[in-house]
């Protein structure tokens, strides 16, 4: 997990983080109504950490768990809060791990 240093990320940066193509992100944006990246004056998508978390959940359901688009939609209609809590917990654990790794490097 990278340090949270930016307010907005480009679609290219998000695609690289999630190891998917930009077209997949655009497709998911059309399919999942809650994925709403901000747009600048030129219409370019700008993603917040919240939007990236939502994309990670969709990615996990479709790519890791094997859900179809419709199956993922139904799962998120019923359990979106649950999946958001899991994603936040994972982010917190990754952040703690990074902090511990940095501490270990300092004491070695």
What pTM did the predictor assign?
Answer: 0.76
Q: Is residue 50 a part of any domain in this protein?
A: yes
Residue 3 within any structural domain of the chain:
no
Residue 24 lies in a domain: yes
Q: Indicate whether 95 belongs to any domain.
A: yes
Measured on CA atoms in the order 14, 16, 22, 26, is the torsion positive or negative?
negative
Q: pLDDT class for 4, splitting at 50, 70, 90?
A: low
Total structural domains in the chain?
1
Domain membership of residue 2 (yes or no) is no
Instruction: Supply the pLDDT for residue 88.
Output: 84
Q: Cα separation of 108 and 103, whole Å?
A: 9
The length of the chain, given as a count of residues:
108
* Section 93-107 average pLDDT: 90
3-state secondary structure of 104: helix
CATH code, 20: 1.10.1660.10
For residue 81, what are the domain limits?
A: 9-107
On whether residue 1 sits in a domain, the answer given is: no
Edge-to-edge order in the sheet of strand 38-39: 9-10, 45-47, 38-39
């Amino acid at each position: 997990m990278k340090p949270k240093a930016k307010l907005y990320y480009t679609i290219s940066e998000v695609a690289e983080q999630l190891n998917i193509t930009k077209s997949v992100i655009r497709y998911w944006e059309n399919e999942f109504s809650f994925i709403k990246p901000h747009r600048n004056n030129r219409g370019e998508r700008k993603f917040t950490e919240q939007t990236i978390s939502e994309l990670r959940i969709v990615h996990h359901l479709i790519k890791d768990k094997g859900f179809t688009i419709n199956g993922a939609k139904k799962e998120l209609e019923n359990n979106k809060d649950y999946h958001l809590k899991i994603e936040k917990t994972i982010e917190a654990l990754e952040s703690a791990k990074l902090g511990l790794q940095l501490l270990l490097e300092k004491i070695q």
